[in-house]
């Protein structure tokens, strides 16, 4: 009986296979979607399921994979290569520090097209297991439906941290963790239920960051490594929309300053260098030892008229954790304005060697600037250079570091110029990047059809969980802890 069932199943499977009348060898590598040709990946990443740009016309796709130890595997699928996780982990374990060879065959119109092999490098290094991000309509001007999500990078599991439909359609943004620890975290809520939510373990605290002295909300958070302070900017932000410019959306500040929130003493701290009517100052971050505060700053102008004349430099000022005070003089680390360029999002590596930032033509909001690229600053020598292998043909922007300082995550519009997708790149010992790769999905079609942009990809060492019932209750109660100063 079992033999008869096996014959029936085999016959059904064979009937589903396309008839191949001819095999043609192509003297080139396949055009992949996503493009995984020549990328460097961590040894704990989920399977790189892929297709080709001929996705919709494929009858079948096949992949012959050879691990670094010589063991060979065959995978296939209807219109994408579907790799079982168990076998993929076996391939990664055998190939750490080496490379994987992949030979692809497309079957179209009953013809098998066989391509030259392409290669995937496997670093002998792991990436932080989770990536947290917001999914939002790509224009950023609407937020009727959005959410914060947490992706397990070792599998395809994505969990919902908070869907804004739970909280009456209010905007949720600016998730931030202390050294990747999601138990010490914060998010902002904007709208009728607006507040800053601080998370300590399972406890959630809804706070009002506006004071009678500082009348703006806190934005762009970054935790001090001690967990005792959070650096914020306070911004009065304006959006404008262009009809004729390739940079469709322009976002700028009419006012901005940098403050530090003392968590234990419930107090906002600042300094004249960070809070002056003569400058726009924003996007702070702490050094991994907590002794420096990085930020970007530009001279104040009428932004509505002179947006293209505004160029931000990267500066730093000393910070004394014991007293919560700013010390010493301001250092300018990247003087982009002298070349009529601008910088954004200075983010130090956790080993203290590098400062990753975005460089572009003008202004402060790089996400919609097609020319925006990722750059690296060597904090020991002051040398700075573009991450040529990681940068794409469109905007590459908001970024974060893995805890081992060997991987970066960032958002990029390189695929279609409209949607930002999440990418990861390996950083070598000299601070240079290998070719970046799109985070893998169970089906490559998931990213082709997704009508939302990835926003603020932040690495995390554990899953980001928020008790949704407690969050809803805290927000809708109206009770707020008032920030002091």
Write out the DSSP string of 77-145.
Answer: ESSSB---HHHHHHHHHHHTTSEEEEEEEEEETTEEEEE--EEEEE-S----SEEEEEEE-TTSS--SS
> What pLDDT sits at residue 16?
56
| Nearest CA among 57, 59, 50, 58 for reference residue 32 | 50
> What pLDDT sits at residue 18?
86
> What pLDDT sits at residue 248?
65
Over the Cα atoms of the chain, what is R_g? 24
Q: What is the pTM of this model?
A: 0.93
State the chain's mean pLDDT as an integer: 93
Least confident of 29-43, 80-94, 106-120, 360-374: 360-374
- Contact at 8 Å (CB) between 78 and 28? no
Q: Above 50 in pLDDT, residue 29?
A: yes
Q: Above 70 in pLDDT, residue 150?
A: yes
| Nearest CA among 324, 199, 304, 319 for reference residue 261 | 324
> What pLDDT sits at residue 365?
86
Q: Above 80 in pLDDT, residue 274?
A: yes
**Local confidence band at 158 (pLDDT 50, 70, 90 cut-offs):** very high
Q: Above 50 in pLDDT, residue 466?
A: yes
- Contact at 8 Å (CB) between 354 and 379? yes
Residues of the chain with CATH 2.60.40.10: 23-122
In this prediction, residues 407-433 reach a mean pLDDT of 96
> What pLDDT sits at residue 13?
38
* pLDDT tens, residue by residue, 71-106: 999 999 999 999 999 999 999 999 999 999 999 999
> What pLDDT sits at residue 129?
98
> What pLDDT sits at residue 8?
36
Distance CA 245, CA 371 (A): 12
**Local confidence band at 306 (pLDDT 50, 70, 90 cut-offs):** confident
Token duo for residue 92: 């990664």
Can you list the pairs that 366-369 forms with residues at least 24 positions away whose Cβ atoms lie under 8 Å? 366/342, 366/395, 366/397, 366/398, 367/140, 367/251, 367/395, 367/397, 367/398, 367/411, 367/420, 368/247, 368/248, 368/249, 368/250, 368/251, 368/395, 369/247, 369/395, 369/397
Q: Above 50 in pLDDT, residue 6?
A: no
- Distances in whole angstroms, Cα of residue 230 to Cα of each of 20, 111, 252, 285, 454: 62, 60, 23, 9, 24
> What pLDDT sits at residue 139?
64
- Distances in whole angstroms, Cα of residue 279 to Cα of each of 29, 156, 212, 282, 339: 51, 44, 21, 10, 19
Cis peptide before 34 (omega within 30 of 0): yes
In 3-state terms, what secondary structure has residue 26?
Answer: strand
Distance CA 261, CA 454 (A): 28
Q: Above 60 in pLDDT, residue 461?
A: yes
> What pLDDT sits at residue 140?
52
**Local confidence band at 266 (pLDDT 50, 70, 90 cut-offs):** very high
- Contact at 8 Å (CB) between 50 and 12? no
Q: Above 50 in pLDDT, residue 44?
A: yes
**Local confidence band at 137 (pLDDT 50, 70, 90 cut-offs):** confident
Residues of the chain with CATH 2.120.10.30: 130-477
% of the chain surpassing 70 pLDDT:
93
Distance CA 92, CA 70 (A): 12
Distance CA 362, CA 365 (A): 9
How many residues are present in the chain?
485
- Contact at 8 Å (CB) between 234 and 259? yes
CATH class of this structure's domain 23-122: mainly beta
**Local confidence band at 238 (pLDDT 50, 70, 90 cut-offs):** confident
Q: Above 90 in pLDDT, residue 11?
A: no
**Local confidence band at 244 (pLDDT 50, 70, 90 cut-offs):** low
- Distances in whole angstroms, Cα of residue 320 to Cα of each of 177, 270, 272, 450: 21, 12, 16, 45
Q: Above 60 in pLDDT, residue 52?
A: yes
Least confident of 60-69, 295-304, 432-441: 295-304
> What pLDDT sits at residue 3?
36
Query: Which residues on neighbouring strands pair with residue 426, listed in sequence order?
Result: 407
> What pLDDT sits at residue 250?
73
> What pLDDT sits at residue 143?
59
Least confident of 38-52, 104-118, 206-220: 206-220
Token duo for residue 95: 């190939």
Query: Which residues on neighbouring strands pair with residue 28, listed in sequence order?
Result: none
C-alpha neighbours within 13 Å on the C-beta side of residue 184: 15
- Contact at 8 Å (CB) between 241 and 270? no
Q: Which CATH architecture does the domain made up of 130-477 adopt?
A: 6 Propeller (2.120)
> What pLDDT sits at residue 367?
86
Can you list the pairs that 211-219 forms with residues at least 24 positions away whose Cβ atoms lie under 8 Å? 211/268, 211/482, 211/483, 211/484, 211/485, 213/485, 214/257, 214/259, 214/268, 214/485, 216/255, 216/257, 217/188, 217/190, 218/188, 218/259, 218/261, 218/483, 219/174, 219/188, 219/282
């Amino acid at each position: 009986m079992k033999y008869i069932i096996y014959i029936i199943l085999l016959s059904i499977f064979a009937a589903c296979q396309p008839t191949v009348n001819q095999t043609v060898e192509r003297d080139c590598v396949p055009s992949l979607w996503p493009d995984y040709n020549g990328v460097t990946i961590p040894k704990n990443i989920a399977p790189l399921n892929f297709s080709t740009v001929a996705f919709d016309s494929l009858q079948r796709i096949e992949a012959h994979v050879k691990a670094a130890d010589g063991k060979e595997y065959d995978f296939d699928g209807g219109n994408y290569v579907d790799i079982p996780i168990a076998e993929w982990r076996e391939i990664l374990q055998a190939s750490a520090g080496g490379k994987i060879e992949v030979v692809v065959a497309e079957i179209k119109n009953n013809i098998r097209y066989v391509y030259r092999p392409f290669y995937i490098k496997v670093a002998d290094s792991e990436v932080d297991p989770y990536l947290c991000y917001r999914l939002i309509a790509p224009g950023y001007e609407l937020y009727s439906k959005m959410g914060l999500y947490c992706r397990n990078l070792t599998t395809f599991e994505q969990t919902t941290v908070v869907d804004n439909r739970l909280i009456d359609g209010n905007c949720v943004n600016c998730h931030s963790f202390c050294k990747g620890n999601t138990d010490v975290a914060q998010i902002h809520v904007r709208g009728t239920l607006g507040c800053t939510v601080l998370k300590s373990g399972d406890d959630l605290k809804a706070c009002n960051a506006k004071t009678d002295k500082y009348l703006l909300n806190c934005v762009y958070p970054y935790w001090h490594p001690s967990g005792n302070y959070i650096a914020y900017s306070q911004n009065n932000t304006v959006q404008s929309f262009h009809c004729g410019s390739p940079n469709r959306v322009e976002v700028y500040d009419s006012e901005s300053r940098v403050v530090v929130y003392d968590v234990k003493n419930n107090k906002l701290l600042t300094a004249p260098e960070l809070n002056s009517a003569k400058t726009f100052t924003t996007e702070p971050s702490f050094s991994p030892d907590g002794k420096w505060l990085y930020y970007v700053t530009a001279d104040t102008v009428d932004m509505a008229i002179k947006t293209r004349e505004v160029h931000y430099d990267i500066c730093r000022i000393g910070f004394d954790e014991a007293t919560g005070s700013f010390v010493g003089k301001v250092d300018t680390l990247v003087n982009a304005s002298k070349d009529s360029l601008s910088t954004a999002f200075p983010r130090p590596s956790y080993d203290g060697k590098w400062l990753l930032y975005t460089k572009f033509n003008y202004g402060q909001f790089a996400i919609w600037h097609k020319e925006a690229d990722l750059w690296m600053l060597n904090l020991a020598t002051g040398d700075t250079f573009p991450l040529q292998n990681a940068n794409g043909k469109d905007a590459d922007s908001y970024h974060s570091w893995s805890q081992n300082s060997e991987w970066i995550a960032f958002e990029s519009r390189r695929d279609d110029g409209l949607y930002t997708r999440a990418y990861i790149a390996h950083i070598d010992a000299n601070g240079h990047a290998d070719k970046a790769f799109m985070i893998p999905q169970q089906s490559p079609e998931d990213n082709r059809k997704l009508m939302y942009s990835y926003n603020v990809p932040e690495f995390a060492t554990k899953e980001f969980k928020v008790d949704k019932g407690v969050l809803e209750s805290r927000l809708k109660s109206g009770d707020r802890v008032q920030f002091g100063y």
